[in-house]
Amino acid sequence: MFAASFSLLLVFASTRTSTASTFTDVPGDDPARASIAYLEEEGIAGGFEDGSFHPGDPVNRAEFLRVVIASADSTERAAACIRDFQAQYGNAQLFRDVSQDAWFRDSLCRGLALKIIERGKTRMFRPADNVNFAEAAKMIAMAFKLPVNVVEGPWYRAFVEALAAKNAIPTDITSFTKPLTRRQMAVMIHRLRASIDSQPSLTYETIGVHLAAPMKEKDGTLLLGLINAERTKNGLMPYAWNGLLASAAIRHAQDMETRQYYSHFSPEGLSALDRIRATGYLNVDPATCNCTRWVTRYGENIFRGSENAGEVFAVWIGSPVHRANLLTKNFREAAIVRSGQYWVMTFGAIETQ
């Protein structure tokens, strides 16, 4: 048995509209819709024969390099590069694991010329491997010639910070090492190529905050998994993790534990709205989304009294008001963190019409 406290805050806010996506699996309220449409309109990346885009699918290294070259450089220069290479070296291989008739060989050639990629000692490119965010950050920063400063830390930190300086990191990035999705690729390319710097973006610190924060990020991920399994059983889409919502949750969980209070409001009177708004999550730029009307929604759950994700889930799912909130259609994204025995779950949705 355990003693616990839990609470719920559900708030709805503003109203304001967008063009419909041409892809069957990109709904009108998808935050990345405008970016995906941009890639198609510019001839950078399209969809599949069945009319879908597969926004949640990972991108392999060959696909990503081809898109980066097409967006930051040009396919014509890539074609010229491989012609010049063949004229000088004949049928020599660019990489040991890339055939001479590979469809992306011209992009490889141009990528090497621009130093976006390197051969390395193994001379292997691994074209079919999924590109993770850290790798993608380096390739895209180099391709768009972003200022990259020498900094302490992992090899990818400077490239991530270069993207962050341009507000080009999608808010659903959850790890440096997880595969990049087609949706995330579209957002990054769109923001850099169209010089869009007014949208919410993560930073190196917010992506890696779990490395230093006094909470168990894996517990939040586990609890979100339990909630999403319940949503799936009830015919609902799972919540997508959002890094900005996580920043708001971390701030509140740590503050409650440090100052030993338990409330949706800080001692200074700051609310969930204040915390979420401070991250930039609720910002909407009509020019970027090509919309004149939108709806933003946010919410917050808090819990105190256990460090076990299963126990928190059992309490929330057993409470009619909390169960209704966990299984609502009103939110699309969420994040859950724990600091000691204090848990905070933040919810959000931005729908353009």
Contact 219, 309 (CB under 8 A): yes
pLDDT at residue 35 greater than cutoff 90? yes
Residue 218, pLDDT score:
60
pLDDT at residue 107 greater than cutoff 50? yes
Q: What confidence category does residue 214 fall into, taking pLDDT thresholds of 50, 70 and 90?
A: very low
Residue 301, pLDDT score:
93
User: Could you tell me what percent of the chain has a pLDDT over 70?
Assistant: 90
Residue 37, pLDDT score:
92
CA distance 106 to 103: 8
Average pLDDT over residues 72-91: 90
Q: What confidence category does residue 212 fall into, taking pLDDT thresholds of 50, 70 and 90?
A: very low
Q: What confidence category does residue 152 fall into, taking pLDDT thresholds of 50, 70 and 90?
A: confident
Q: What confidence category does residue 219 fall into, taking pLDDT thresholds of 50, 70 and 90?
A: low
Residue 288, pLDDT score:
67
CA distance 255 to 44: 45
| pLDDT tens-digit map of 170-183 | 988 878 888 999 99
| pLDDT tens-digit map of 36-80 | 999 999 999 988 989 999 999 999 999 999 999 999 998 899 999
Residue 310, pLDDT score:
87
Average pLDDT over residues 125-131: 94
SS3 of 186-230: HHHHHHHHCCCCCCCCCCHHHHCHHHCCCCCHHHHHHHHHHHHHH
How would DSSP label each residue in 102-138?
A: -TTHHHHHHHHHTTSS--TTTT---TTSBPBHHHHHH
Average pLDDT over residues 320-348: 90
Residue 15, SS3?
strand
* Average pLDDT value for the chain: 86
Residue type, 20: A
CA distance 348 to 280: 12
pLDDT at residue 109 greater than cutoff 50? yes
